[in-house]
Structure 1
Amino acid sequence: MAIATALTAALAVPVGVGVAGAVAAPAPLVSDSFTRTIGSGFGSAGTGGAYTATNPSATSVASGTGVFTLKPGVGAATVLRSVSATDVTASAKFTVPTLPTKGSGVYAALQARINGSSHYEAVVRFTSSKAMTLLVRRADGSASTMIVPEQRIATGITAGKAYTLEFSVTGSSPVALKARVIPAGSTAGAWQANGTDASAKRLTSGSLAVWGYLSKASTAATLKVDDLVATAGAAATTPTTPTTPTTTPSTTPTKPTAPTATPAPAPTTQPTAPATPTNPDTSAPPQTASNGVSTSGARHSVGSAAIGSTRYAVPSGAVFAAAGAAAGGNGTQAKPYATAQAAISAAPSGATVVLRGGTYHETVTVPFNKKLIIQSYPGEAVWFDGSQNWGNWSASGSTWVSGGYTYAFNNSPSYSGNLSDASRYIDPNYPMAATPDQVFIDGVSQRQVASRSAVTAGTFYADKSAKQLVLGSNPNGHSVRVSTLQEALRIQGAGTTVRGIGFERYATSAMQMGTITAQVPGITLENLAIVDNATIGLFAWSTDATLRNLTIARNGMLGFGGNSAYGLKASGLLVADNNSEHFKREPISGGFKITRSRGISITDSAFLRNATTGLWLDESVYDAAVTGNDFVSNGGDGVEAEISAHVTIADNVARDNAGNGIRLFDTSDSAVWNNTSVRNGRNIALMQDARRETDLSVPGHDPKRPQPDPTFSWIVQNVTVSNNVLADATGLAQLTVEDQGHKLSGADMHLTINGNLYQRTVANKPSIDIVWMQTTTATKGYATAAAFAAATGQDTRSTSVTGTGTLTSGLTLTSSALSQVTSIARSLPASVASLVGQPAGTLHLGSW
């Protein structure tokens, strides 16, 4: 990932770019240069009427600017209620005199079409790492909908410098929203955020406001606003960036670069005057981001609470550690140990270890036969960071070089540590994937290359023979961190709980299995952020693990791996942007993979934008429930069960995945109920190949690995597919039933496919609803469910619809589709109803 350029270069365009034949600008709806003195509130604008302040004590006007005096975790809005506009372009200059040194930073926004508790807003964030981000969203009471996800637009911003935020809201069906930031002294450039809102909740008109907010973990700060202008109509034409669809998440989610900072989200909404604003609930996972990772595409809150926001009770007798504390501590709160390992080693089994806020550059082990609770101190941010600051850079031609790099990490891509496995794991286009060296500039990962001559901006080379690092981007004036540790936490004490902590930037080799390894039974992990590690973020290989509200993101190979993890319970996870090093899909990569395990539950989680598969159950996963999850924009399948059995996949949304939305591969005795699968390559796929449990000579078997559980048939059979909504597949068909080994027909598989709704907006996209294995050697495509039913006896209650009107933009059923539910849907069986929290016998189509 290339480092962001300097702000002016990133945001400005050459002088002279403009519009030929420009006409005089319309009279402004609002014009305010703040040439007055007001002790509380903003008073009245020169044009636009009086402001109504939601937090009068936090706002004033002095020395020619409006002033927000912000306390941590508190926001304020000033609303121009006398102004009502439909199409409007607003702009204001924002200045932060002193940038925050910790926390997520200072937020400034322009709000438009304010109608009750709903409005649109463009939000710019000034971060503690001197970066700037921008997003556009719609607020609806206590929730928000991301129109354009938060994206980093610049680094190296300057305290005290004015930046003009411009926000355009036009149209009604859909509403077009655009935003950009223009540094003082620069010409307006392309729109950096560009999206639309076509939902039923879109707003048609309303008033205007200016809003400021300070993250809870930051110290008090000031935000100044000047030259507020709003005009009716669209903004003047300027060069534009490609439109960002409302469903496309940011590909470069931001996160705090300083590990001592407390990542905290912007609040999802701010009520407008005269209501008293509700401060964001930072004890719960945020709606718009989880520790800097975009949650766009998730139906509900997922991921860890912001690191530094949890407040777990501290029991009497707790053992304390504080990073960098004085030597000679005894583990009391007054005299804490200086390292986490010292506290863990000293704590008796059954004790609670409390870590004070700070950065722990350590590899720690919870020893065998010691059951501990390890948690952050209430309201303090604790990060384990495998990297350290790196300096002494000197220019060398077009690169920068620093010596003293003596690290030689194992670069095998496999668990065995065998370099000869590389061809199975490594995509030739990404030859450095398994080499775990990592460099970050201002928190942005630099891409590793294989030679000095290949170094360009945004890349680095680790010259092991010369013991040097070579950068392609100028490090001067920037924070450079280099990963020097490989493992963060080995949990070998059964029953241990770890909560409220972040783990980042470890140079983990694949053979080490994970930055965090849960090696013994009964481990609970809660509210952890596991991000930016070289290969595998977290691995569990024992029974009865509980994973609750974890953010597992941007790990190089795999977010989570599990094997023999019987009884695993996972909920509220955000598994996003993993396999960032682009390993091959097989044999292992992506978001979340579990093998050879039974009694698995994976619920209410989001698997987003992983480079390959989102969730993969493989090689003898038995009795698994996958319910209430979102599988969105993954580079492979959304969810796959392979060589497994007794898997229930219900009440999930799978959309915009490059592969299959839902795939069962050599998997038997399973149920696929009430899912909404939209715009995937194939929305649901039931696939068989030549492999059989009884014949290990068939291609596809790994002769180096032991035979999986012999109780599995390895055959797609006895599978039910009902009450699903399948729409607009981007590949050949909405649903496919295939045997690539040419041994079974569809009838041989004993499938029940019925009660589904097939929808395509355009008649030939796709032209086929169902592909069926007609004989053992030939498939046949059916354009509609009716044709399929007539030929096979399957899908007799199902319906095919061409055109719009089935699903809303939020993927819920329209009123016309709801009227068909009773004639299409099958009664929800008790076995599935108990998993999705619905009454047995319910008639419903798609996810809830």
Structure 2
Amino acid sequence: MGRNASQGPGHRPWMRRWAVPVVLALLLGSVGVVLALTSADPSTTPAADGGVRVPGAPREVRTLHVSPDGDDDGADGTAERPLRTIGAAVRASDDGDTVVVHAGTYRESLKIEGRPGLRLVAAPGEEVWLDGSVVVTDWVRDGAGWVSGGWTAEFDSSPTYSWGKPDNDRPGWGFLDPKHPMAAHPDQVWVDGERQAQVGSRAEVRPGTFYVDTGRDELVLGTDPGGRTVTASTEARALRVRSAGMLVRGIGVRNYAPSVPHMGAVTVEAPDVTFEDVTVTGSATTAVHVLSTGVKLQDMVLENSGMMGLSATEADGLELVRVTARGNNAERFNHSPAAGGAKIGRSAGVVVRDSVFEGNLANGLWFDESVHDIQLLRTRVLDNVGHGVSVELSGRATIAGNVIARNQRNGLKLTDTEDVQVWNNTFADNNRSINVVQDDRDIRARGSYSDPDSPLTWRTQTVAIRNNVIAHTGTAPLTSREKQPRTCLLCVEDFSGRWTAAEMDVTALGNVYQRPDADSPRWLVVWARRDKDPYVFRDVPQFRETALQEQTGVELTGPSVLTEDLGLRPGLERLSGTVAQPLPEDVAQQVGQPAGSRHLGAWTS
């Protein structure tokens, strides 16, 4: 909804810097272990051997090994004599070196700067975890619960991106849902791997809950710990990457407890950084935050975070390739300003492909506030509690080849967004499958950040909807009988009352609409007509005759045209030649299909 969810300093001349409190959130938070210092003068940068690095002088690139059985004091980091901690290896490293981490659990909080090109990688085939939790023992029965003494881990519970500030009190702008008042408290406890819910007093402790009594330095548990493993978070941050060109590969991150203003358990604050084959799980708020350019996240899993899997701000050139974000917003923050699978703001040239956003307890994937030149390709967005995909106050987007299904709100919501190509997607059993909306924020920003130098207008203009399968299969119920009259497969509305759908240049051609009967949903298409109530079309022939749309589009009523895994049944594939439009060259290049080919819905191979 255009609310400032992921804030930080800008990189482009047309983008202003974010508010000072957010920068302070990044710079003044709990920083963990400082591993290196950046010097403004490269001629005085310390070398790994304690001397001075001379600019341009050749040196041997080294490999340093780390193992839980190593020794930080007497070892030299060779495979035969590994160091014990990752921190010691980074301190001993130099530009372009490789730190190989061997199997084990490392309870560290790392900040890596002044090491451009460093490679931090797990040894091939070995399981490595950065772990922000410890096993808690010595439980004593205390009334209806159990107590472990000497618990001194404390975390900041600021609910916004500004340290010490209360939650927003403007309706609809608060981070916290009153039904989940402890969401911003980062303390975390698991019993045999099952997350326990934090409560605000000893009196509220019940099975499945815990309380942190800071006055007595006690951890109070409602579930019997006998014969079970109890773990609890002790570290706020796992990894701050502040060295350009770094590679992080194969390092798992689990159970860290960042406060909301920390931005994430892992933060990427330098350009041209790559993460590969990394899982970040069990973060108290956000798993990963990207705040720099040219960052690539590949083969990553971001799961079970308290608030959000990924946030990114002013991250030009961000690539997400085979990224899975699932089960995030476990603490039930409000869907906005920020929660769910991923939220990306104020960035250009963002590519998301071959990824999965599934089962998040808010929106699946959200582009917000002046994101442009977006590619969302061949991605599955399924079973999210909020919108599947929201593109808001943004533009110049290609959304092609995706499967967007069973999201409790809109499948795809385009709000104040221009120049969008929606080609060859499969939509199934969302509340509103495609919802195209205009409001008045192009005139009055109403709290959304509007940069006068942005190339975007924040007006919904030029939206092409082609070759999509838009279905309510009948295998999933509509949300409620009360909402059925307002549910539609394709909806275009201007709540500012200024434009018709035609004046917004929203066009629909070559799509297939499918529902089990004429009342599920009753409204097939809603079509804006400026300051009047929108047209409501109950079938494709009405839509074609009145709005002059869907000259080749078809409506199918009856059994689902989709398989259980949301592929196309053979009968639907045979319609491609007469219904679908030729794939334009630019979209074809992006999705890897032949230009001019005709296909309906997402490709399955």
The two structures have a TM-score, normalised by structure 2, of 0.85
State the shift of 1:709 in Å. Answer: 5.0
Equivalent position amino acid for 2:586 in 1: S
Is contact 2:160-2:166 (8 Å) kept?
A: no
Q: Does 1:647 align with 2:397?
A: yes
Give the 5 Å matches for 1:50-61: none
Which residue number in structure 2 is paired with residue 764 of structure 1?
519
Q: Which has the higher contact order (CA 8 A, sep 6+)?
A: 2
Looking at structure 1, the residues matched to 433 and 83 of structure 2 have their Cα atoms a distance apart, in angstroms, of: 54
CA contact (8 A) 1:805 1:817 kept: no
Residue 317 (1) aligns with residue 39 (2): no
For 1:760-819, what per-residue CA distance to the aligned partner results, in whole angstroms no more than 9, with x for missing partners? 013211012101112323112111121111011112211111101522223222232222
Distance 1:584 1:514, change over 3 A: same
State the 1:328 CA deviation: 2.2
Q: 1:708 to 1:447 in 2, by over 3 A?
A: farther
Structure 2 stretches lacking a partner, 5+ long: 1-59, 479-483
- Is 1:657 matched with 2:382? no
* Distance in 1 of aligned mates of 2:164 and 2:497: 35
Cα shift at 1:614: 0.6
Contact 1:743/1:777, CA 8 A, preserved across alignment = no
Q: Residues of 1 paired with 2:578 and 2:405: CA distance? A: 25
User: Partner residue of 1:564?
Assistant: 314
Aligned positions of 1:693-708 closer than 5 A = 694-696=443-445, 699=446, 701-702=447-448, 705=449, 707=451
- For 2:282, which of 500, 522, 532 is the aligned residue? 532
Aligned residue for 1:538, secondary structure, equals strand
| 2:161 aligned with 1:415 | yes
Q: How far does residue 322 in structure 1 lie from its aligned partner after superposition? A: 1.5
Alignment of 1:230-309 (within 5 A): none
Quickly say closer, same or farther: Cα 1:846–1:741, change in 2 above 3 A: same
2:131 — aligned with what?
Answer: 385
Correspondence for 1:212: none
Give the match's secondary structure for 1:522: coil
| RMSD (Å) for aligned C-alpha atoms | 1.5
**How many residues end up aligned between the 2 structures?**
528
Contact 2:61 2:96 in 1 (8 A): no
Partner of 1:579: 329
Indicate if the aligned counterparts of 1:438 and 1:446 stay in contact, CA closer than 8 A.
yes
User: Which residue identity is paired with 1:768?
Assistant: W
Residue 332 of structure 1 corresponds to 78
Indicate which of 556, 565, 570 corresponds to 1:810.
565
* Aligned position for 2:541: 786
Task: Give the equivalent residue in structure 2 for 1:513.
Answer: 263
Residue in 2 aligned with 1:831?
Answer: 586
For residues 120-175 of structure 1, give each alpha carbon's deviation from its aligned partner in whole angstroms, at most 9, with x where no partner exists.
xxxxxxxxxxxxxxxxxxxxxxxxxxxxxxxxxxxxxxxxxxxxxxxxxxxxxxxx
Give, in angstroms, the shift of residue 466 of structure 1. 1.8
Matched, 1:747 2:502: yes
Q: Counterpart of 2:577 in 1: which secondary structure?
A: helix
Partner of 1:796: 551
The aligned counterpart of 1:209 is none
2:244: which partner in 1? 494
Q: How does 1:718-733 map to 2 (within 5 A)?
A: 718-728=462-472, 730=478, 732-733=487-488
Distance 1:419 1:583 in 2: 17
Partners of 1:695 and 1:672 lie apart in 2 by 28
State whether residues 324 and 339 of structure 1, in contact with CA within 8 Å, keep that contact through their aligned partners in structure 2. no
Q: Are the aligned partners of 2:494 and 2:530 in contact in 1 as well (CA < 8 Å)? A: no
Change (3 A) 1:422 1:451: farther
Larger CA Rg, structure 1 vs 2: 1
How many angstroms does 1:679 deviate by?
0.2
Answer whether contact 1:733 1:771 (CA < 8 A) is retained: yes
1:413 shift after superposition: 2.0
**How far is the alpha carbon of 1:534 from its aligned partner?**
0.2
Structure 1 unaligned blocks of 5 or more: 1-314
Residue 590 of structure 1 is matched in structure 2 by: 340
Moved more, 354-363 or 735-744: 735-744
Instruction: Indicate if the aligned counterparts of 2:159 and 2:166 stay in contact, CA closer than 8 A.
Output: no
Contact 1:786 1:798 in 2 (8 A): no
SS in 1 for 2:399: strand
Give the AA of the match of 1:650: A
Say whether the 8 Å CA contact 2:379–2:402 is kept in structure 1.
Answer: yes
Equivalent residue for 2:454? 710
Quick check: 1:617 aligned with 2:367?
A: yes
1:451 aligns with 201
Verify the 8 A CA contact 1:619 1:708 in the aligned structure 2: no
- Contact 2:61 2:97 (C-alpha < 8 Å) held by counterparts: no
Tell me the distance in 2 between the aligned counterparts of 1:733 and 1:806: 18
8 A contact 2:514–2:560 mirrored in 1: no
Structure 2: which amino acid aligns with 1:574?
T
Distance 1:770 1:406, change over 3 A: same
> Any conservation in 1 of the 2:345–2:367 contact (CA below 8 Å)?
yes
Whether the aligned pair in 2 keeps the contact of 1:648 and 1:671 (CA below 8 Å) is yes
Alignment correspondent of 1:436: 186
Instruction: Say which is worse superposed, 416-425 or 578-587, in terms of deviation.
Output: 416-425
User: For 2:179 and 2:310, how far apart are their aligned partners in 1?
Assistant: 24
| Percentage of pairs with the same residue | 38
